[in-house]
Chain A
Amino acid sequence: GAVVSQHPSRVICKSGTSVKIECRSLDFQATTMFWYRQFPKQSLMLMATSNEGSKATYEQGVEKDKFLINHASLTLSTLTVTSAHPEDSSFYICSARRLGQGSPLAQDTQYFGPGTRLTVL
């Protein structure tokens, strides 16, 4: 099946620094990728939709200047947490949308990465 990777899987940084998280679709091209955030014991929350070659679409309440998204190629989207603070500590998960193949009626599928656990000290 399709694989989506994330790097790093775990990162610890000091307050005030920036952290970049990569999301790669390994065996398919993804024009659309999604970034989610999950707090402990809570649900996955959609942060933004990353579109290849254009600006990301952010969900309400998500600061676009703090969470920079770059979808530079059909297989890579990056999320940069700028000037990270302890409240940004969370589990960040990306997913990549794979378009349906073959039949025009084939449905697309979303594949999730393994997640990146960010801890800001």
Chain B
Amino acid sequence: SQELEQSPQSLIVQEGKNLTINCTSSKTLYGLYWYKQKYGEGLIFLMMLQKGGEEKSHEKITAKLDEKKQQSSLHITASQPSHAGIYLCGAGDAGNMLTFGGGTRLMVKP
């Protein structure tokens, strides 16, 4: 089965700083999704990457997909307290079954 590993597991940054979260897959990626979860709430979809080299942005969040490396990175520019939460990557296999990474807990200090 496909496994996704996220790093780091947790991150504390000062407001205004940039940060990057990585997601590495054990198998070929057929689609990579990024989600954000605030404490006690459901997952909120951020963006989906399907093609190698694809890069998408949502406000100050940018995600890239490196198909060859079976890896995706999520980059937040000029972090704000509103960016705090848990970021999860998810991937679908050929049968469209979803697997999630372990999550990265982000705290942004004002």
- Residues of A at the B interface (CB closer than 8 Å) are 32, 34, 36, 38, 40-46, 49, 91, 93, 95, 97, 107-108, 110, 112, 115
Contacts and interface: CB of A to CB of B under 8 A. Distances in A.
Contacts of B40: 32, 97, 108
B41 interface: yes
B62 to A, nearest CB: 17
Contacts of B39: 108
B98 A46 contact: no
Range for the number of chain B residues in contact with chain A: 10 to 19
Contacts of A112: 98, 100
Contact of B37 (A38, A40, A42, A110): A110
Interface stretch (B42-50, B51-59, B66-74, B76-84): B42-50
Given A43-B33, A44-B33, A44-B35, A36 B42 contact: yes
B45 A44 contact: yes
A43 B48 contact: yes
Contacts of B98: 38, 44, 93, 112, 115
A23 to B, nearest CB: 13
A116 B97 CA distance: 11
B42 A43 contact: no
Closest 4 CB pairs of A and B: A34-B42, A46-B42, A43-B33, A43-B45
Contact of B90 (A41, A44, A97, A110): A44
Contacts of B37: 110
Interface centre among B35, B41, B105 (most CB of A within 10 A): B41
Interface centre among A42, A110, A112 (most CB of B within 10 A): A110
